[in-house]
Structure 1
Amino acid sequence: MTNVASQPRYFSILCTGSALAGDLTGCQPREQRLRRQHAILRLERLWALANVFASSDDNSMPTSGIRGISYAQTQAGKIETKGAKHADSQYQLLSRQIQYGAIGMYGAVAGVLRFWDSRTMQLTPDLGDKLGKAFLRETKIPAEIQRAALSDEPVPISMLTEWGNRAHISSDSGDEESDCLNTALHLNPVRSRMARTLFDNPAQDDEPELIRIQRIVKDLTGDAQNADLQEGCTIILCYEKVYRLLLMGFERLLRRCKDEGEVPVAALRGDRVFGRVRHDLPRLVDELLEAIDRVQTAYYRNDHDRLDDVRWFVEAAAQAAPDSDAFVRALIVRHRDVQQGKIDKGRRKLPWIDGSGNSLRLTLTHIGGRRDVVEDPDQIAPHYYRLAATDNLIRASRMS
C-alpha cells in the first residue's frame, strides 16, 4: 500500500473492470489493454457515482478515500438539478483519471500483490480473476451496470444507489473478496510477518506513526524470527531524527532568506536554531550509522547499497557541522542535487536557494512555504510509513 493507495476496495474495482472486458483472445495486445482500460475507467466512474448516491441516503457512509470524489459529487448534483432518473459514465473524474485514479494510484500495487500484470492489465487466473468475479457476485452488480461499463449506456439512479450500498468504499468486504485480499497480503513472507506485527500492535487513538513504531521495536525485542523487522524499524526511528533535524536547518535558511532578502553565510554562525542543528547532528548521525552497521539479517544486508547515498550525505553533513560555513554549503549542495534530480515538464527543477558567492537568497522557483517559524524538530512532519493504509488492508482481509 502507499500513502494514496490506501483503500483495498479499489483492487476489487480494478479486477472487476478488467474481468468485465471479457475474453480478448485473438485481439492484439494493444487492443486488449485498451479494452480493459476503458472498462475499468467506466466502472470506476459509475462506482464513484454509486457511492455518492448511496451516501446521500445514509450519512453514516463516508466517501473519504474515493479518488476524485468532488468530481462525482458535482456530477451527482447536476443530475439531481435536472431531475434525471438515469446516469451514465460520461463525465470527468479527476483531471487525468488514468494517472490519478484507480489505474494510476493502485495499478502498480495491484501488480505487486499479484492481482494482475500492470503492463497489460490482464488478471492473474488464481487471484485477480477470482477477486473480480467475487466482487461481481458478492455486490450483485446488475447486468445494466455491467453493460454500462462497456458501452456508456445509462443506468437507473435507483439501481446505482442500491449497488452503491452494497459496494460502498466504507462497507465491509465480502467473504470471497476478503479471502482474496488475505491471500495477497500473505504471499510475501516479510509482508505477512509485518502485517501480523501491526495486527498485534494496533494503533492507539491519535497515536503518531513513529510512536507506534517505537512500541513495535520494543515488542519485537528478543524475537529472532522477526529480527529483520526490528532492525528496519530501528533504522526508521534513527533516520527520522536525522531527517527532521536537517530539514529544520534547511527551513531556517529559507526563513532567514524570506525575512531578510539576502543573508551572508557568515551571519548564520551565531544563529541559535541553526546552532542547535549543528550541535545535535553528529550524535544523531552516529546513532543512525550504528543502527545500520548493527544489522545482522540477510534481508537488510542484501540491500545495504540502497542507503549509500543517504549515508554519504549525513556523514558529510555531520563532519561539516562544527564549521557553520561548511555546513551551510553542505545543505545547499544537497538541496541543489535533489532538485536537479527532479524532472518537471521535461526540465530539471531549480533549487529554492541561490548559494553562489558568500550570501544566500531565494530564487524565483520558491513559492509559498511555511508560515510558522520552525525552532524544534517536532515541528517537522516525519515521512509517512503507510501503517494506516496497511491497517485498512488488514481489516479488509479479515486477519485474525
Structure 2
Amino acid sequence: MARYMARQATAAARPRDDAFIPFLTAYDPSDLPGTSVDPLGFDRGYNFLGDQILPGLTNVARQPRYFGLLCAGVSLAPAPSGRSAVDRDAREECILRLERLWALANVLAAEGEPPLGVRGVRYAQAERNALARDGRRSTGSRFRLLGRQVQYGVLGIYGNVAAGMRLVDRASLTLSADYGEALGAAFLDETGTPYTVREAARDPDREVGIDALRSWGTRAGIAVPASEGEARLLLQALELDETRRRMARALGRWRAKNGESELARLARIRERLTAADVDLAQAIAAIVAYEACYRWALLGFERVLWLCEAAGAVELRDLAADDVLASVGSGLVGAALELESCISAATAPGFQTGLVRMQDVRAFLAAASRSGGSAGEIALAVLSRHADVQHGKFDRGRRKSPWLEVQGTCVSLTLARASEVRGEPRSPDDVRPHEYRTASADALLFAGDEVTQ
C-alpha cells in the first residue's frame, strides 16, 4: 500500500497541461458516440489534420493502462465456438465484467479521492459504498458502470485506437498474435491479477473478495505506472505507423514546457524538424493556421450568441457596430489566407488527396473573406454557416435547429444552444482550440519512461 500511495503522489506531481480530460466535447468527436457540438462544422477538417501527425490516436484515449485492460478482457473470454456473433458477444461481456471489477479495484485502493481518469468512477464509488453499508466482504460483476458502458467505457473510448495500434480486431474482438495477446498476458501477469478476478470476469455468477480487489488495485490501478512488459508493447504498437512513429519521437525529443500550450509546442517542434520530416512540418503549419481560422470564426459566433443573451435578441444594426465582430472580419480574412498558403505548400501525397475533408470549411472561409470584413457581413456569414451545419445534423430523425436565427432586422436565440466560452468573448484567445492528440502520445511515451529510468 505504501508503494501505491507513493505512485499516486508521483502521478499527481507530474506537469499537468492535460488536467482537463476531454469527453464528449466539440474538440474530439472521433471514436465517441453521437456527434460533437461543433457549431461551425470544423471537426471534419480538424480530424483530417490530426491524422497527418498522429493517425489512429484520439484525445480521450490517453490512459495507457486501459489498453492492457482491454486486451486482458479479450484474453479471458471463452474459446471460439464457430458462431462469430455469439463469440463476439461473449468476449464483449467478459471485457465489461473485467472493466467493472477493475474500476472498483481502483476506488478501493485509492481509499480517498477517486483516481483521475477512471471511466464510471462514480458508479464504482456507489458500489463500494453499498458494499460497506451491507457489510459484504465479496462482490460480483453485475453492478452498473456508466449509463452505457459499451459506448462510454473501454470498448467505446479505446476500441478504435486499440485496433489502429494493431492490438485488437474490433469487428471480432479478437487479439492480434504479435501485440494484443502479449499485452493481455503482460497486464494479467505483471499486475498479479488474482485467480478469483479472472474467474469473476469469465463467469457473472462468481464473486471476488474485497481485500483481493483492493490489493489488485494497488498494482493494476490507473495511477500505477504500466509494467515493463505493458510499456514496451505499447511503445512498439505506437510506432507501428510510420508517421505516428516519427511524430511520437519528435514529441519525446521536445517535451512540453511548463505553461506551454499544445499549439505553441507544435510550432516549436516544427521549427526543429529536419528535411526528413518535412511532411510533419507542413502539417503542423496547416494545423496552426487552421486553428487561427477556427478561433476567429467561433469568436464571431460566440460574440453574437453573447450579445443575444441579455434580451434574447440583438438588432442587426448593433452587430454591424460591434468592435469585436469588426476585429473578427479582418482577423478571419488574414487567417484564411495563411491557411490557403499552408495548404498549397503541403507536398505530402496523403495530405493533398485527403483535402476533400476540408473542402466545406475552406468554402465557408472563402465566402466569409469575400464579405469584405465588415462586422455586419461577417456576423451574417457565420450565422449562415451555423444554420447549414445544424441542418446537416439529426436527432431522432429530425434535423437539429440552429442556436441563432435571423428574423427580420434582428437575430434571436432559439431553445437549442450551448456555448464553449465562459464570460464575454472578445478575443480569439477566449476560444479553446482543438486538441491534437499529443497528450495521448505523451502518455504512451511517459509509460515507457517509467520502466526505462
Give the Å deviation of 1:237: 0.9
Aligned pairs (5 A) from 1:1-400: 1-24=57-80, 26-56=81-111, 63-152=115-204, 153-220=206-273, 223-366=274-417, 370-398=421-449
Paired residues of 1:241 and 1:284 also in contact (CA < 8 A): yes
Give the Å deviation of 1:168: 1.1
Q: Deviations over 1:129-186 (max 9, x none)?
A: 1111121111121111111002121111111111111111111222221222122111
Give the Å deviation of 1:343: 2.4
Give the Å deviation of 1:55: 1.2
Give the Å deviation of 1:346: 2.9
TM (norm. structure 2) is 0.83
Q: Distance in 1 between matches of 2:308 and 2:215?
A: 57
User: Rg larger in 1 or in 2?
Assistant: 1
Paired residues of 1:235 and 1:288 also in contact (CA < 8 A): yes
Paired residues of 1:62 and 1:170 also in contact (CA < 8 A): no
Paired residues of 1:228 and 1:299 also in contact (CA < 8 A): no
Q: Distance in 2 between matches of 1:321 and 1:245?
A: 15
Paired residues of 1:11 and 1:106 also in contact (CA < 8 A): yes
Give the Å deviation of 1:217: 1.6
Give the Å deviation of 1:82: 2.0
Give the Å deviation of 1:92: 0.7
Give the Å deviation of 1:320: 0.9
Give the Å deviation of 1:297: 2.5
Q: Deviations over 1:59-116 (max 9, x none)?
A: 6x96111101111111111112222211221111011111100111111111111111
Q: Deviations over 1:208-233 (max 9, x none)?
A: 1111112112222xx11111111111
Query: Would you identify which runs of 4 or more consecutive aligned residues in structure 1 move more than 3 Å?
Result: 321-326, 367-371, 397-400
Q: Distance in 2 between matches of 1:200 and 1:2?
A: 21
Paired residues of 1:180 and 1:397 also in contact (CA < 8 A): no
Q: What's the Cα RMSD here?
A: 1.8
Q: Distance in 2 between matches of 1:321 and 1:17?
A: 58
Q: Which amino acid aligns with 1:185?
A: L
Give the Å deviation of 1:382: 0.7
Q: Deviations over 1:214-268 (max 9, x none)?
A: 2112222xx1111111111111111111111111111111122222433232332
Larger displacement relative to structure 2 (186-195 or 237-246) = 237-246
* Identical counterparts, % of pairs: 39
Using a 3 Å threshold, how does the CA distance of structure 1 residues 46 and 235 change in structure 2: closer, same or farther?
A: same
Q: Distance in 1 between matches of 2:436 and 2:418?
A: 27
